[in-house]
């Protein structure tokens, strides 16, 4: 086995975009169960939101021109024409020099184009004194100002957050079409790897950390997970477990056995899966940590081979596994989970290789401070202490204290 297909991080990302396609499965969910899901198709408004012009404050609905020039010394005098309660239709038509009391959120009557805040007015009998002028449409949300009937509210590929779910509820939609959750299979391998719950370890045995962290990330990114029993360093056992996952799942993740070794069957097993088209695309990424990374796409299913060290596996899965899952879901790409920070110290790097350094983020102005959490790739403690990954691009020979750097949040 060799590393003749080593790619840069940029090339790896481009290959994922070129070869991983959105799944065609969809299902319907209600807005109150939509958070965390991804829209399968565009959503268009079927009605105006709001459906009527309404006040944003407690006060008096008026014609703005009737308040022009009003001051505390020389208030504008308007006659009170009534009041409108919450949930009540404003059936009246406002005339010149009239005012109508409206609470926050209430409908304003026809003819009114602004609302005077209650603290800027005084009511004496049926006479409203206005001490401060208002502009046209001040303190008013117009009919259809939020969303107009027929307009595109959300596009396919949008991840639904609580605010998007609220927008869907405002439209009165009882169900929306979302991408069905991809089923991702996970397989750890190695004679030394044992189930994490094993209490008494023999010398040389290691609990399966990746079998917890990687499936946990997969679930947090909106997928269902099938976790295989650990595969031994035996070709037949490895092959049988991989075949079983491949039949059940939309994507396969394998951890361990992706570098050079006497009992390394990972590449052979990966190449045997599916129809072999287009097949093995990447064997090695010019990145630290995580060079022994494998990517294949076969029978339209991506297969990602991760390094065995927990920190390396988690770094690679954050940087590329998330992108693959987003592609399967057809998600719109964005930088919601990155930030810019100032590095706290000089960090050397080798040109031609992208480095991802675990960092903690400390508050600062105008940028947070990224403080490296240094340690070997196999140390779990470095992950616990980290808020994210500082990226040092391959074109740089490191960063200097105070430099601005991109940080990928651990999310």
Determine the topology of domain 338-409 in CATH.
Beta-clip (2.40.340)
Backbone region of residue 125 per phi and psi (left: phi > 0; alpha: psi in -120 to 50; beta: other values): left
Distance CA 286, CA 4 (A): 12
Element (DSSP H or E) covering residue 271: helix 266-272
The pair of three-digit structure tokens given for residue 138, joined into one six-digit string:
């001040």
Provide the whole-model pTM. Answer: 0.82
The pair of three-digit structure tokens given for residue 330, joined into one six-digit string:
């057809």
Residue with tokens 């983020």: 361
What integer pLDDT is reported at residue 262 of this predicted model?
45
Whether 269 and 242 have beta carbons less than 8 Å apart is answered as yes
The pair of three-digit structure tokens given for residue 191, joined into one six-digit string:
């004679």
* Superfamily covering domain 26-47+150-179: Molybdopterin biosynthesis moea protein, domain 2 (3.90.105.10)
Backbone region of residue 330 per phi and psi (left: phi > 0; alpha: psi in -120 to 50; beta: other values): left
Whether 282 and 7 have beta carbons less than 8 Å apart is answered as yes
What integer pLDDT is reported at residue 337 of this predicted model?
84
Tens digit of each residue's pLDDT (9 = 90 or more) over 105-128: 999 999 999 999 999 999 999 999
Architecture per CATH, 54-141: Beta Complex (2.170)
Tens digit of each residue's pLDDT (9 = 90 or more) over 182-211: 999 999 998 899 999 999 999 999 999 999
Residue ranges of domains in the chain: 9-24+181-329, 26-47+150-179, 54-141, 338-409
Widest Cα–Cα separation across the chain? 95
Residues contacting 228, CB < 8 A, separation 6+: 185, 186, 187, 188, 241, 244, 245
Distance CA 28, CA 90 (A): 37
Query: 87-97: b or e for each residue (b if 16 or more CB lie within 10 Å)?
Result: eeebebebeee
DSSP β-bridge partners for residue 392: 355
The pair of three-digit structure tokens given for residue 102, joined into one six-digit string:
């409206």
Considering the domain 9-24+181-329 in this protein, what is its CATH number?
3.40.980.10
Weakly modelled stretches of the chain, pLDDT under 70: 1-5, 257-264, 334-336, 376-378
What integer pLDDT is reported at residue 3 of this predicted model?
47
What integer pLDDT is reported at residue 404 of this predicted model?
96
Domains 9-24+181-329 and 26-47+150-179 share a fold: no
């Amino acid at each position: 086995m060799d590393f003749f297909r080593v790619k840069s991080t940029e090339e790896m990302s481009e290959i994922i975009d070129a070869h991983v396609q959105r799944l065609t499965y969809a299902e319907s969910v209600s807005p109150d169960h939509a958070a965390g899901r991804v829209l399968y198709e565009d959503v268009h408004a079927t009605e105006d939101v709001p459906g009527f012009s309404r006040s944003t404050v407690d006060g008096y609905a008026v014609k703005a021109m009737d308040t022009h020039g009003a001051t505390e010394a020389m208030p504008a005098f308007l006659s009170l024409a009534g009041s409108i309660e919450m949930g009540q239709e404003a059936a009246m038509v406002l005339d010149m020099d009239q005012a109508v009391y409206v609470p926050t959120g209430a409908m304003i009557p026809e003819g009114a184009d602004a609302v005077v805040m209650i603290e800027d007015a005084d009511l004496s009998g049926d006479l409203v004194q206005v001490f401060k002028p208002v502009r046209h449409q001040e303190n008013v949300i117009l009919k259809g100002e939020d969303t107009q009937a027929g307009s595109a509210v959300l596009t396919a590929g949008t991840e639904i957050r609580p605010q998007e779910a609220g927008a869907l509820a405002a439209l009165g939609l009882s169900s929306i079409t979302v991408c069905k959750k991809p089923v991702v299979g996970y397989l750890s391998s190695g004679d030394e790897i044992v189930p994490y719950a094993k209490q008494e370890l023999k010398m040389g045995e290691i609990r399966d950390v990746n079998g917890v962290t990687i499936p946990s990330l997969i679930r947090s990114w909106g997928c269902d997970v099938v976790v295989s029993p650990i595969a031994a360093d035996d070709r037949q056992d490895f092959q049988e477990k991989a075949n079983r996952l491949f039949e059940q799942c939309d994507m396969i993740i394998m951890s361990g056995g992706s570098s050079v070794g006497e009992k390394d069957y990972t590449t052979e097993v990966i190449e045997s899966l599916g129809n072999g088209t287009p097949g093995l695309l990447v064997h090695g990424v010019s990145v630290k940590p995580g060079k022994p990374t494998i990517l294949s796409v076969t029978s339209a299913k991506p297969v990602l081979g991760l390094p065995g060290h927990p920190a390396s596996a988690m770094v690679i899965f954050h940087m590329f596994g998330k992108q693959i899952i987003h592609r399967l879901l057809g998600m719109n790409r964005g930088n919601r989970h990155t930030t810019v920070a100032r590095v706290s110290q000089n960090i050397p790097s080798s040109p031609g290789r992208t480095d991802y350094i675990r960092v903690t983020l400390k508050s600062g102005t105008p940028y947070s401070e990224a403080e490296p959490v240094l340690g070997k790739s196999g140390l779990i403690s470095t992950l616990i202490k980290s808020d994210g990954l500082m990226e040092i691009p391959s074109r740089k020979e490191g960063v200097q204290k105070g430099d601005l750097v991109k940080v990928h949040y651990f999310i």
